[in-house]
Every structure is written in structure tokens, then in C-alpha cells.
Homo-oligomer: A and B are copies of this chain.
Amino acid sequence: MAEIAKDYQQLPKNYLFREIKQRKLAHIARRPGVHVYDLGIGDVSLPLPSNVTNAMAQKALSLEYAETFTGYEGSEGGVELKNRIAEYYHALGADILPQEIFINDGAKGDCADVQTLFASGTTFGLQDPAYPVYANSIILSGKAGEVDNNGQHKNIVYLECTEENDFIPDVPKEKIDVIYLCFPNNPTGATASEKTLKKYVDYANDNKAILIFDAAYSWFIRETDKPKSIYEVEGANTCAIEIQSLSKAAGFTGVRLGWTVIPQELSAENVDPGEINQLWRKRQQIHFNGPSNVAQAGGEVILSPTGLESVVESTNYYLNNAKSIKATLAKAGIKSWGGVNAPYVWSETPTVDGKKLSSWEAFDHYLERANVIATPGVGFGPSGEGFTRFSAFGKSEDNDAAIKAIVDNLQTN
């Protein structure tokens, strides 16, 4: 008799962005023809540079001819792309070799799969709030342990990100085996300095812990004391895995491309140096045949000097949106954070009729009153209660109109 894993049944009822989509559709059904502005999900709106689309088209067309046709690229991705990524790290002053790079189809898969490396009984540290994929994948794999009345799991340590700590938690006092860090952060937009990251790297090396560094938003960093890669920090190669994505950098949310770095020196309690890199390689050989060759052809252009220039251009556009969101909120007396080195603005929920709204109340209020979608902070974890995430990935005219509609409709009367 086939039996479904009970871990599957422990998952939250609905994935956050699915819940939002359902409420949006219900709203539109109630008000046919209404225009809803979406500052919720982090999907990009700018199209791709022509040199990237041309390279992908050329790769696609080359598959028509026997002389230029190519099949399997291998489960680790193409050599040329890995070389370009190694150069990208070199330019940042980080030491990463091509054989330490595993090309993936965007960060989500590896963010969810990387926990499979670790033994059951591992304690995982997560920023609270955080991208829901980290916790959900740990729950799904059966490693999260028992859940309490607050929905918190025994084997997960929740590192609170609050106004008091500028949404960057200090290194934990207790021993945690594996810590997920996302900087620039989704959802708060907080971005860690070199000094903060160094404390985490030292903590990890001192405690033989491993950091999972989600660097998907590094492309938005403008302040020079904020590292774009964990490997810019001394000592990180022995304790950190980095996961990257071209989704937000280069508009690849639909094309799908990213990578994961597992350094040769990465060490853990029960393995020899170099072994984790080799074990992940085997895991990829079993689970993955590489991302689409067409996507890889586009990625090679993005990692070229002209490609990296176009990344700066498109991320500047979104950073301007973020600036505009922050300015409009500030005028209305609503505090906000992030949005400086990040495409997300984290804002307190407003007080309406003398009552500070909860995250979902603010969601409903913005949708009802202003026809704007914004992500409820509590969807990213309990410490997100009382906050809203605004995504700056829209077209600038929509972005500005949406945030104006929100502040114009803050009062119920």
C-alpha cells in the first residue's frame, strides 16, 4: 500500500504567492474591468537586452544543422559559462574555480535542494522573515522536526530581523549547524556589510557550521562596503555555499538560469576536504541534466562586459522605483526600510481609524481601496507581522501610480 510522506502534509496550506494570486483573482471577479497594480510578486517587467536575445535565438537556430547541433550539456552546465562565472568572481576579488561552480536553472531549485546534503537532526538557522522556500523545503524533507502552536519547527532556529537590529540579526549565541543568509534580503531589503558577514563567517568556521548564502539580489548593491558575494569575505571558502540567479539581475525569470558554488575547501564534521563538492556533483548527476542550452547561451552574454553593463542599467531602473516608493511612503508618514541596495521596500503597515493593521489587513486594505497588490510581511515568517513588502520590479509609471494610490487611500472615510 503506497503511503504519502507525512512531511508533505505538514506543508502550509497554500504557498504565499498562490494565496495572493487567488485573492487577486477574487477581487477582479468582484470588480470586472478594474486595473490592479501588482507590487507583490517579484517578477521583472523590463525586457532583455538585444545582445542577449540574439545570442539565444542564434543558439536555437544553430540546433537545426548537424554541424552545429549539440545535445546534453552535462549536469553541471557548459564549460564556457562556468569560466565566465569564475571570471565574475575574480573581478570581485573572490577565488572561485570553474569546477566549484554548478550551473542551475535559477536559484529556487537549489535553495530548496541544498538541504538534502545535511544529516537528519541538523539544526537550520533561518532569518525571520525569509523567502518561504528555505523553510518549506526543510519541512518537506522531514528535517524540520515537530511543529509548535506558533507554526515553528523544533530543528529550525528563527533569527529575528526587527527594526531594533536593522533587520540584520546578530550571529546566534547557540550552536546552529547550517544557516541560510540572504543579503540583500528578500523581503526586508536589508544588506549586510563586510563586517557583519565576517562575523558570520567566523562563527561558521569556529563552530564548523555551514552558511547557505542566497546572493540572488547582489546585483542591486551600490554601497561599496557591502559585499556582492560571500567569497569576498576572508574565510568563506571553508564554510559557505553561495546560490546565485540571473532572474532579477537580467530578467531571466522565464528563461531560467543561475548557479551554485560549492568550494573545494568547504568542510563539515564527517567529510574530507573536497568531498562535499564531489558529493554535490554526484547528486546533480542523479537529479539534473543541466539548464536549457539556449538559456546558457544567453547567460554567457550576460556575464560578458557589455552584458554586465546592461545589468547595471536595468537594476538602476528598479532601484529608482524603490526610491520613489520610499519617498511617497515617507511623505505619508509611513516608515520604510530597504530599497537602497535592494529591489524590495519593507514598510510598516499603516494605522487606519486608530488601529494599526496586521499584514493581511493591510493587504486587503490596499487591494480594496487602491487596487494594489503588496505582499503581507507575515507571509515570510512571524517577525514579518505588521509589515508589507513592496516589490520595485514594475514599470516605473505603474510603480509610481500604485504607491500614490495607496497613500491617497489610507483613510477609510
Q: Which A residues contact B (CB, under 8 angstroms)?
A: 1-6, 8-9, 11, 15, 17-18, 41, 43-50, 53-54, 56-58, 60-66, 68-73, 105-106, 108-109, 112-113, 116-122, 132-133, 136-137, 140-142, 175, 177-178, 207-210, 247, 251, 253-256, 268-271, 275-276, 279, 282-283, 285-295, 298, 395
Contact = CB atoms under 8 A, between A and B. Distances in A.
A57 B247 CA distance: 20
Contacts of A132: 286
A84 B109 CA distance: 26
A57 B49 contact: no
Given A64-B50, A69-B47, A255-B292, A6 B119 contact: yes
Contacts of A72: 41, 43, 253-254
In the complex, the count of this chain's copies comes to: 2
Which residue among A56, A133, A291 has the maximum number of chain B CB atoms within 10 Å of its CB? A56
Contacts of A69: 45-48, 251
B287 A109 contact: yes
5 closest A-B pairs by CB: A56-B60, A47-B69, A254-B293, A292-B292, A57-B57
28 contacts: A2-B122, A2-B177, A2-B268, A3-B119, A3-B177, A3-B268, A4-B269, A11-B286, A15-B282, A18-B285, A41-B72, A47-B65, A54-B61, A56-B294, A57-B58, A57-B61, A60-B60, A60-B294, A60-B298, A69-B251, A73-B254, A112-B286, A116-B141, A132-B286, A255-B292, A256-B293, A292-B292, A294-B295
A40 to B, nearest CB: 12
Nearest to A73: B254
Contacts of A269: 1-4
A323 B25 CA distance: 55
A71 B44 contact: yes
A113 to B, nearest CB: 7
Contacts of A119: 3-6
Contacts of A395: 66
B48 A1 contact: no
Among A3, A70, A275, A285, which residue has the most Cβ atoms of chain B within 10 A? A3
Name which of A117, A209, A251, A276 has the most chain B CB atoms within 10 A of its CB: A117
Contacts of A118: 2-5
A247 B53 CA distance: 24
Contacts of A58: 57
Contact of A116 (B50, B140, B178): B140
Contacts of A292: 105, 254-256, 291-292, 294-295
Given A44-B71, A50-B64, A105-B105, 16 more contacts: A1-B207, A1-B269, A2-B210, A3-B268, A4-B279, A11-B282, A41-B72, A43-B72, A53-B60, A56-B57, A60-B60, A109-B287, A109-B289, A140-B283, A253-B289, A256-B289
A162 B131 CA distance: 50
A2 B178 contact: yes
Given A47-B63, A64-B47, A255-B292, A276 B108 contact: no
Contacts of A178: 2
Contacts of A109: 287-289
A276 B177 contact: no
Contacts of A3: 118-119, 121-122, 177, 268-270
